[in-house]
Amino acid sequence: MPVSDQGFNEDRFQVIPRSLIFIFNHEDQVLLLKGARDKKIWAGAFNGIGGHIEAGEDILTSARRELLEETGISDAALHFCGQVMIEVDAQRGIALFIFKGQHDGGELKTSDEGSLEWVSLKDISKLPLVEDLPELLPRVSQHAESDPLIIGKYQYEDGKLVMLFV
């Protein structure tokens, strides 16, 4: 079937797919990545683990690959807990697929993306976070596999991030 039959058209809204993973332990801590100083975006800010979904990958395969590349963790059971559409402009956006997992031991691997830190959930507000984490992270930390998915939409209005969740 030709791509044109799928409705692909340069004039339609298009997205870049990305995975975002939050790993928790039994001490009420989340594993966050402090962005390297030379990162193009979010240098020095704390974020979850993740990145682009590559050609040929499904969202879970991407999440597992990103987790392994950025942390060395290969055995965390991940569950899909939500999706956020991020409208960058009228024609382009990001489709963010969010996963949650548990990890309670083992050595972490460093990467060029930044440094890894276990952070207590009660101390999150004291850190320089990527701008959506104060709203998103509590939702993910409380999400159980049996809960409805977290569904959100982000857009920028006058340069300010506006987050909507259903």
For 42-60, what is the mean pLDDT? 93
Residue 131 pLDDT > 80: yes
Q: How high is the pLDDT of residue 10? A: 76
Number of domains the chain contains? 1
Residue 75 sits in which domain range? 3-165
pLDDT band at residue 43, thresholds of 50, 70 and 90?
confident
For 134-161, what is the mean pLDDT? 96
Looking up residue 130, the CATH number of its domain turns out to be 3.90.79.10
- Average per-residue pLDDT for the chain: 92
Residue 106 pLDDT > 80: no
**Contact (CB, 8 A) for 32 and 141:** no
pLDDT band at residue 1, thresholds of 50, 70 and 90?
low
Residue 74 pLDDT > 80: yes
Residue 42 pLDDT > 80: no
